[in-house]
Amino acid sequence: MRFDVVLRTAVLALRRSLLRTCLTALGLIIGVAAVITIVSLGQGARASIEEEVEGAGTNLVIVSAGNWTSGGVRLGMGSSSTLTAEDAEAMRRLPGVAYVSPGVRTRQQLVTGGQNWSANVEGVGADLPLIRSWPLEAGTFFGPGDVAADGKVVVIGTIVRDALFGPHINPVGRQVRIGLHPFTIVGVLAPKGQSASGEDQDDAVFAPASSEERAE
């Protein structure tokens, strides 16, 4: 049988059962759309989870000091302050370790112009943006030379930038006082959102660990 005859016969059969043809086509369209939607939702959820994991830092190991007991009261893991910069350098020499950043964290008041803001101030190393997979929105992150020289430089999150200077303002080169010490802003980190624990990661200030230890 010729192809044109088969095609004509098929068209006539479809026209005689137009309602059945429309319902069948509609079922196919809905089925295919549902499959595409489910696959898209799955890929979106996977991408969101991967982004959170990368945001925390892939292959990340956090080393904290042990418990500290004062007057018979155990203050819990991480309360001791026995880790030193030499310990961080020793960890850097371990096999398989790509980046190391020491950490000193306090809550301090920031003042600039007529504005002030209380934020987490973290003393870190120059490798932090590589460890946390954290790009910058403006400026640069401080380098090893700033850490070695106790440089009075900071990199701030977007929440801190908005509170002190206003949204979309580039504060690179401006000064901010942390406690009693003036620091120069050298960079603004790109927005990162909340961490897995619910903490706003953009409400933070990063300074060289050596400078932060002396600023406390």
Please identify which residue in the block is written with the tokens 């418990």. 67
The domain segmentation of the chain, as residue ranges, is: 3-56, 58-100, 102-215
Q: Which two tokens stand for residue 110?
A: 């920031």
Interval 138-188: pLDDT, tens? 999 998 888 888 889 999 999 999 999 998 889 999 999 988 889 999 999
> What values do phi and psi take at 34, rounded to 5?
-65, -40
What stretches in the chain show pLDDT beneath 50? Answer: none
Q: What is the DSSP letter of 203?
A: S
Q: What is the DSSP string of 58-77?
A: TT---------EETTEE--T
State the Cα–Cα distance between residues 46 and 71, nearest whole angstrom. 49
Distances (CA, A) of 24 to 31, 106, 185: 11, 66, 65
Nearest by Cα to 185 from 170, 202, 177, 173: 173
State the Cα–Cα distance between residues 191 and 211, nearest whole angstrom. 25
pLDDT confidence of residue 86:
74
> What values do phi and psi take at 143, rounded to 5?
-105, 180
Coarse DSSP helix, strand, coil percentages of the chain, rounded to the nearest 5 percent = 40, 25, 40
Please identify which residue in the block is written with the tokens 């964290």. 105
pLDDT confidence of residue 212:
59
Q: What is the DSSP letter of 27?
A: H
pLDDT confidence of residue 159:
93
Return the axis-axis angle of helices 3-16 and 18-56, rounded to nearest 10°.
90
Residue 9, burial from CB neighbour count under 10 angstroms (0-12, 13-18, 19+) = exposed
pLDDT confidence of residue 88:
72
pLDDT confidence of residue 110:
92
State the Cα–Cα distance between residues 39 and 148, nearest whole angstrom. 50
State the Cα–Cα distance between residues 132 and 126, nearest whole angstrom. 11
